[in-house]
């Protein structure tokens, strides 16, 4: 029987493929993303320092066994190490030609900086001396040695890193230098000794001199770091399963800090913030990789590398191209130049903003690297949502600039606009945001993995150090947080909790704004606006999505402006115009109240006639904007008491007025007050009459239309007069009249009869034939269950899933979302808020029954959805599956719905 492999050399990818059955996703599961990509790079001929991967299975074995390596794992590590020795011609622990290795974590999904890494393993007093001999560079060797003790001390033994950093700061101060690079060999040698003392005093043991023991302990530490707090927090935030485990990659060290012919850097194959083609990144001459990522030293732009390392830069560009062609994805690479030779240390799919993701997907499809379908599927609806995040309004930006409130500028690494109170620690960011509901901007010199919870809680992130690939930039991009980094003008004093920016002193709790698009930092708050979606790449992507989707995407809009936005965003019709919304406007509400209060039919008709003028104009505006596209106008729905003042307030006002009579001096004033009281009394009486225990289940919807037939007749007249008028202007008007809250087919029959008569009357008066349809909302369970009977009178259905969810669950939609429903979702009693995501098993089933029964009577019955769920990607998937004709959602969600509908269709196809 062949022995189980816990360890694979980088060049043993074939064996791993055989083991998992050749699937790339499973290779990543076994090797972790980093290990899988290292092996893949070797296979395609990219220069990678030799090494091997200890699998995630070994990690899980270790963790399940309570901290014991699986049988044979360690023997396999030692065997693989021998292979590396042969390849490099160096020897682990050898005094004359020592091999040094790094030991890095690498899980299936990228978790930047969340787990541990130890570099320079293999150094001890003897090998360090040997390396000095070999390289003639004692400064480099002791810098590397102290790094090993520092990393090993903090990662493996849990010594606080500050203990070591304090020693370095003191040494810099004593030597009168600003940067670590200015410290000499003697300084680092002295610090190496001091670090050993710190190590001993914290752990009661000496720093291990045996390289094999170092590797053993480092491997264990990496395994254990899978269950560290920050790794768990990150996985929770990024939705990564907790049982995947991490692999360990042991790799020959190459050094970017052996002099000025060495460098280290990180580069994206395209720009991560806006998706532009070309390398984007940072590098540092004479430095180690961690220096770049940690943002501790001010990095140089990667393009500058073409001057200092022309050969290596050219090769890097070629490798970038090769990797993109290989992975069909934008890559985020880590590299080191050692004595002029380029080595690739890592490649992975690059993190990017939503804007960049869209541009890269479209560009790659245009370049033939991926298909249009691939471009559409790799963008998530959430990314489109980020795309539409608010930006600062141009006028507000202009004003702030002219007022001198723009105080600094940094790198615009993650777009979007954010304003909030300045906080200097992650914990405070979290508590102000979560406990006090405050909007905060987290400000740090640089961020570390321990800060992620604060970044998640903050509106935006601002740092004084770090580049485009710093931790702050990567994490902010991933979670769609606006971020500005590397603002050198910021002098942050974490002890005093304040920062100086030029003349300005900003304290914790002051309000600032950051613009992730321009990199500007402002004092105070700025106005925000929703951007137009004129981005050419987004337009292309969504037009490709349209080619794949079969569901229509319509919008819920009441006013011409909303309809225009919806149309600009790609809506193919108005699925719901809530026609009562206009009655709440200032000049109309008194008329509507007059109509409600009228005792005489003639008074009521007068009020309705006046309202008609307004409604006609409302609908005409909508029809003009939607020229050539269908517009569904839903007739009045809410209970009438909503149009009257609140009953309790009326009572209080009346008792107050009555009290005032006593203090009123003149008879005429008393008379006037009595008159006012009489009017209020009438309103109160009316409001009392209209009061219901359960108004949402009361006199509303079609019931109202039957009860006050002249009201809905007026609305239908307004619709048809407007349609005739706009048709005369040359537009194509396709009105659809929708009756709400129908429970019984007879309700619809009665309403339709009376309303269609009115419609025909108007068309005769106007001598114009309008192509129209009568239909109904299906928003009560009875309507869904008797959809065949209802379809006799309805030419279309539109599912009102807000009411349908309310009445199916028996949960009040107005109260539950701030009440017990939150607790239900929190406790897992309900998997999701059913008012946000369609309840497939209950509400979804009713919908499916309705469609089936309705289409049995009318095979071409158009069935849409206009409840809030119409803009929710998961619900859209369900709607596609049910065979709905279209979804209708808020104008802002139209682009999201277009993409989600394409995803649903593509999923279906595959
Ligand atoms: C619905 O019930 O889903 C609906 C769209 O109507 P409203 O929200 O106006 O009740
Ligand atoms: Mg409704």
pLDDT digits 0-9 by tens, 35-53: 999 999 999 999 999 999 9
Asked whether 113 and 75 are in contact (CB, 8 A), the reply is: no
Q: Which ligand sits closest to the CA of 835?
A: 1
* Atom from ligand 1 closest to the CA of residue 803: 2
Q: Hey, what long-range contacts does 64-69 have (CB within 8 A, 24 or more apart)? A: 67/220, 67/224, 69/219, 69/220
Mean pLDDT across 866-895 = 95
Q: How many CA atoms are closer than 13 Å to the CA of 779, on its beta-carbon side?
A: 27
Choose which residue among 581, 834, 866 to substitute to test ligand 1 binding: the one with the highest number of ligand atoms within 8 A of its C-beta.
866
Tell me how far the alpha carbon of residue 494 lies from the centroid of ligand 2, in angstroms: 53
Mean pLDDT across 884-896 = 93
pLDDT band at residue 294 using 50, 70 and 90 as cut-offs: low
Rounded CA-CA distance 471/452 in Å is: 10
pLDDT surpasses 60 at 400: yes
Q: If you take atom 9 of ligand 1, which residue's CA is the nearest one?
A: 578
User: What is the per-residue pLDDT across 111-168, written as a single tens digit (0 to 9) for each?
Assistant: 866 667 899 999 999 999 999 998 889 999 999 999 999 999 999 999 998 899 999 9
User: What is the per-residue pLDDT across 432-475, written as a single tens digit (0 to 9) for each?
Assistant: 998 889 999 999 998 887 788 899 999 999 999 877 667 788 77
Rounded CA-CA distance 170/158 in Å is: 22
Place of tokens 């000499």: 184
Mean pLDDT across 555-567 = 92
Rounded CA-CA distance 21/440 in Å is: 48
pLDDT at 469: 65
CA separation, residue 854 to residues 495, 759, 781, 794 (Å)? 69, 25, 14, 9
Q: Which residue has the higher pLDDT, 410 or 861?
A: 861
Choose which residue among 781, 808, 867 to substitute to test ligand 1 binding: the one with the highest number of ligand atoms within 8 A of its C-beta.
867
Q: Which residue has the higher pLDDT, 566 or 466?
A: 566
* Atom from ligand 1 closest to the CA of residue 867: 3
pLDDT at 836: 87
Pocket lining: 329 vs ligand 1, CB cutoff 6 Å: no
Q: Is 328 helix (H, G, I), strand (E, B) or coil?
A: coil
**Of the ranges 111-125, 393-407, 776-790, the best mean pLDDT one:** 776-790
Q: Catalytic residue among 216, 453, 471, 903, which? A: 471
Pocket lining: 802 vs ligand 1, CB cutoff 6 Å: yes
pLDDT at 760: 97
Choose which residue among 632, 800, 879 to substitute to test ligand 1 binding: the one with the highest number of ligand atoms within 8 A of its C-beta.
800
Whether 471 is catalytic is: yes
| 8-state DSSP, 615 | H
Pocket lining: 867 vs ligand 1, CB cutoff 6 Å: yes
Nearest Cα to Cα of residue 631 among 757, 771, 804: 771
pTM tops 0.85, yes or no: no
Q: Is the dihedral of CA 63, 69, 73, 77 positive or negative?
A: positive
pLDDT surpasses 60 at 1: no
Q: If you take atom 10 of ligand 1, which residue's CA is the nearest one?
A: 803
pLDDT surpasses 70 at 31: yes
Mean pLDDT across 472-496 = 85
Place of tokens 């946000």: 836
Asked whether 535 and 893 are in contact (CB, 8 A), the reply is: no
Residue 437's region, left for phi above 0, alpha for psi from -120 to 50, else beta, is left
Pocket lining: 637 vs ligand 1, CB cutoff 6 Å: yes
Q: If you take atom 3 of ligand 1, which residue's CA is the nearest one?
A: 800
Q: Hey, what long-range contacts does 166-172 have (CB within 8 A, 24 or more apart)? A: 167/191, 167/194, 167/195, 167/198
Q: Which residue has the higher pLDDT, 316 or 452?
A: 316
Strand order in the sheet with 300-301: 300-301, 277-285, 263-270, 331-338, 341-349
pLDDT at 693: 84
CA separation, residue 269 to residues 307, 328, 424, 744 (Å)? 19, 11, 33, 62
Find all residues with CB under 8 Å of 838, minimum gap 6, and list them: 801, 805, 844, 847, 869, 872, 874, 875, 878, 879
Asked whether 387 and 538 are in contact (CB, 8 A), the reply is: yes
Q: If you take atom 8 of ligand 1, which residue's CA is the nearest one?
A: 802
Q: Which residue has the higher pLDDT, 298 or 679?
A: 679
Q: If you take atom 6 of ligand 1, which residue's CA is the nearest one?
A: 800
Pocket lining: 324 vs ligand 1, CB cutoff 6 Å: no
pLDDT at 114: 67
pLDDT at 295: 58
Q: Catalytic residue among 262, 866, 879, 889, which? A: 866
Domain spanning 263-352: CATH superfamily: ATP-grasp fold, B domain (3.30.470.20)
pLDDT surpasses 70 at 745: yes
Pocket lining: 870 vs ligand 1, CB cutoff 6 Å: no
Q: Which ligand sits closest to the CA of 798?
A: 1
* Atom from ligand 1 closest to the CA of residue 801: 3
Tell me how far the alpha carbon of residue 804 lies from the centroid of ligand 1, in angstroms: 8
pLDDT at 686: 83
Choose which residue among 642, 740, 886 to substitute to test ligand 1 binding: the one with the highest number of ligand atoms within 8 A of its C-beta.
740
Pocket lining: 642 vs ligand 1, CB cutoff 6 Å: no
Tell me how far the alpha carbon of residue 867 lies from the centroid of ligand 1, in angstroms: 5
Mean of all residue pLDDT scores within the chain: 92
Tell me how far the alpha carbon of residue 799 lies from the centroid of ligand 2, in angstroms: 9
pLDDT surpasses 80 at 894: yes
User: What is the per-residue pLDDT across 207-251, written as a single tens digit (0 to 9) for each?
Assistant: 999 999 999 999 999 999 999 888 888 888 888 899 999 999 999
Pocket lining: 864 vs ligand 1, CB cutoff 6 Å: no
* Atom from ligand 1 closest to the CA of residue 578: 9
pLDDT at 480: 72
Tell me how far the alpha carbon of residue 779 lies from the centroid of ligand 1, in angstroms: 8
Rounded CA-CA distance 595/710 in Å is: 10
Q: If you take atom 1 of ligand 1, which residue's CA is the nearest one?
A: 800
Tell me how far the alpha carbon of residue 689 lies from the centroid of ligand 2, in angstroms: 23
- For 125-207, CATH number? 1.20.80.30
pLDDT at 113: 67
Record the tokens describing residue 7, joined without a space. Answer: 């360890």
Nearest Cα to Cα of residue 489 among 503, 477, 478: 503
Tell me how far the alpha carbon of residue 801 lies from the centroid of ligand 1, in angstroms: 7
- For 1-122+222-253, CATH number? 3.30.1490.20
Rounded CA-CA distance 35/31 in Å is: 5
Record the tokens describing residue 313, joined without a space. Answer: 């830069």
pLDDT at 804: 97
Pocket lining: 578 vs ligand 1, CB cutoff 6 Å: yes
CA separation, residue 363 to residues 268, 352, 397 (Å)? 15, 14, 31
Tell me how far the alpha carbon of residue 840 lies from the centroid of ligand 1, in angstroms: 18
Tell me how far the alpha carbon of residue 94 lies from the centroid of ligand 2, in angstroms: 78
Q: With respect to CATH, is domain 390-529 assigned 3.30.1330.200?
A: no
pLDDT band at residue 783 using 50, 70 and 90 as cut-offs: very high
pLDDT band at residue 631 using 50, 70 and 90 as cut-offs: very high
Choose which residue among 802, 804, 836, 884 to substitute to test ligand 1 binding: the one with the highest number of ligand atoms within 8 A of its C-beta.
802
The class level of CATH for 549-643+696-909 reads alpha beta
| Residue-wise burial string across 387-411, b where 16 or more C-beta atoms lie within 10 A, e elsewhere | bbbebbbeebbeebeeeebbbbbbb
Q: If you take atom 4 of ligand 1, which residue's CA is the nearest one?
A: 800
Nearest Cα to Cα of residue 357 among 333, 334, 376, 341: 376
């Amino acid at each position: 029987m062949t022995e189980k492999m816990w360890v694979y050399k980088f060049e043993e990818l074939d064996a791993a493929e055989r083991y998992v059955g050749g699937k790339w996703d499973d290779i990543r599961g076994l090797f972790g993303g980093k290990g899988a990509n290292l092996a893949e790079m070797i296979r395609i001929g990219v220069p990678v320092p030799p090494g091997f991967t200890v699998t995630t299975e070994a990690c899980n074995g270790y963790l399940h066994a309570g901290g014991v390596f699986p049988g044979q794992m360690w023997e396999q590590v030692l065997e693989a190490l021998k292979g590396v020795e042969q390849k490099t011609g160096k020897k682990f622990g050898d005094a004359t030609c020592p091999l040094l290795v790094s030991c890095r974590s690498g899980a299936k999904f990228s978790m930047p900086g969340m787990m541990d890494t130890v570099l320079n393993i293999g150094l001890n007093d003897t090998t360090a001396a040997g390396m000095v001999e070999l390289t003639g560079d004692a400064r480099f060797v002791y810098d590397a040695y102290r790094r090993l003790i520092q990393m090993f001390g903090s990662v493996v033994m849990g010594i606080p890193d500050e203990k070591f950093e304090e020693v370095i700061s003191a040494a810099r101060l004593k030597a009168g230098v600003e940067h670590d690079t200015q410290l000499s060999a003697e300084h680092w040698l002295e610090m190496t000794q001091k670090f050993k003392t710190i190590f001993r005093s914290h752990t009661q043991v000496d720093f291990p001199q045996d390289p094999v023991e170092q590797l053993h302990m480092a491997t264990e530490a990496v395994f254990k770091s899978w269950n560290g707090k920050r790794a768990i927090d990150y996985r929770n935030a990024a939705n990564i399963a907790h049982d995947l485990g991490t692999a360990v990659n042991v790799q020959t060290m190459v050094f970017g800090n052996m002099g000025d012919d060495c460098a280290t850097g990180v580069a994206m194959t395209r720009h991560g913030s806006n998706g532009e083609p070309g390398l984007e990144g940072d590098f540092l001459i004479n430095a180690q990789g961690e220096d770049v990522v940690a943002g501790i030293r001010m990095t140089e732009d990667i393009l500058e590398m073409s001057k200092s390392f022309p050969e290596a830069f050219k090769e890097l560009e070629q490798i970038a191209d090769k990797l993109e062609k290989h992975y069909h994805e934008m890559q985020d690479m880590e590299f080191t130049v050692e004595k002029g030779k380029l080595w690739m240390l890592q490649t992975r799919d690059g993190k990017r903003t939503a804007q960049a993701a869209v541009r890269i997907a479209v560009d790659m499809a245009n370049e033939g690297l991926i298909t249009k379908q691939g471009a559409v599927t790799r963008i998530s609806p959430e990314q489109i949502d980020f795309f539409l995040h608010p930006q600062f309004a141009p006028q507000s930006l202009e004003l702030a600039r002219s007022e001198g409130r723009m105080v600094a500028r940094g790198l615009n690494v993650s777009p979007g606009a954010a304003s909030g109170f300045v906080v200097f620690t992650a914990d405070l960011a979290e508590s102000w945001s979560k406990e006090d509901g405050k909007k905060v901007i987290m400000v740090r010199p640089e961020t570390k993995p321990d800060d992620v919870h604060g970044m998640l809680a903050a509106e935006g992130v601002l740092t004084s150090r770090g580049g485009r690939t710093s931790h702050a930039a990567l994490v902010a991009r991933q979670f769609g947080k606006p971020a500005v980094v590397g603002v050198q003008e910021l002098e942050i004093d974490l002890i005093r909790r304040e920062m100086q920016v030029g003349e300005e002193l900003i304290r914790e709790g002051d309000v600032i704004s950051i613009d992730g698009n321009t990199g500007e930092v402002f004092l105070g708050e700025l106005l925000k606006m929703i951007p137009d979606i004129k981005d050419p790449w987004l337009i292309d992507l969504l037009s490709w999505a349209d080619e794949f989707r079969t569901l229509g995407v319509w919008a819920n809009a009441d006013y011409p402006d909303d309809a225009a936005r919806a149309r600009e965003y790609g809506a193919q019709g108005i699925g719901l115009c809530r026609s009562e919304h206009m009655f709440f406007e200032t000049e109309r509400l008194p008329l509507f109240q007059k109509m409600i209060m009228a005792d005489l039919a003639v008074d009521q008709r007068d009020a309705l006639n006046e309202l008609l003028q307004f409604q006609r104009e409302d609908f005409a505006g909508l029809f003009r904007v939607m020229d050539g596209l269908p517009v569904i106008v839903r007739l009045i729905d809410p209970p009438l008491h909503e149009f009257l003042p609140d009953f309790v307030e009326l009572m209080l006002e009346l008792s107050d007025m009555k009290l005032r009579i006593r203090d009123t001096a003149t008879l005429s004033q008393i008379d006037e007050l009595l008159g006012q009281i009489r009017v209020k009394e009438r309103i109160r009486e009316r409001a009392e009459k209209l009061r219901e225990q359960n108004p949402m289940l009361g006199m509303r919807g079609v019931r109202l239309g039957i009860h006050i037939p002249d009201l809905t007749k007026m609305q239908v007249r307004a619709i048809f007069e407007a349609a005739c008028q706009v048709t005369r202007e040359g537009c194509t008007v396709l009105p659809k009249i929708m009756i709400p809250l129908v429970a019984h087919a007879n309700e619809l029959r009665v309403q339709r009869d009376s309303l269609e008569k009115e419609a025909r009357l108007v068309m005769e008066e106007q001598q114009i034939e309008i192509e129209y349809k009568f239909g109904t909302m299906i928003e009560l369970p009875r309507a869904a269950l008797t959809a065949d009977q209802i379809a006799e009178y309805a030419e279309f259905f539109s599912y009102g899933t807000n009411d349908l969810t309310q009445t199916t669950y028996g949960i009040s939609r107005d109260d539950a979302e701030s009440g017990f429903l939150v607790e239900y979702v929190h406790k897992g009693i309900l998997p999701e808020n059913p008012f946000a995501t369609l309840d497939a098993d209950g509400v979804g089933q009713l919908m499916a029954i309705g469609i089936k029964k309705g289409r049995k009577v009318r095979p071409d019955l158009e069935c849409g959805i206009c409840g809030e769920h119409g803009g929710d990607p998961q619900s859209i998937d369900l709607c596609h599956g049910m065979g709905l004709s279209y979804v209708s959602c808020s104008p802002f969600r139209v682009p999201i719905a277009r993409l989600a509908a394409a995803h649903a269709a593509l999923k279906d196809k595959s």
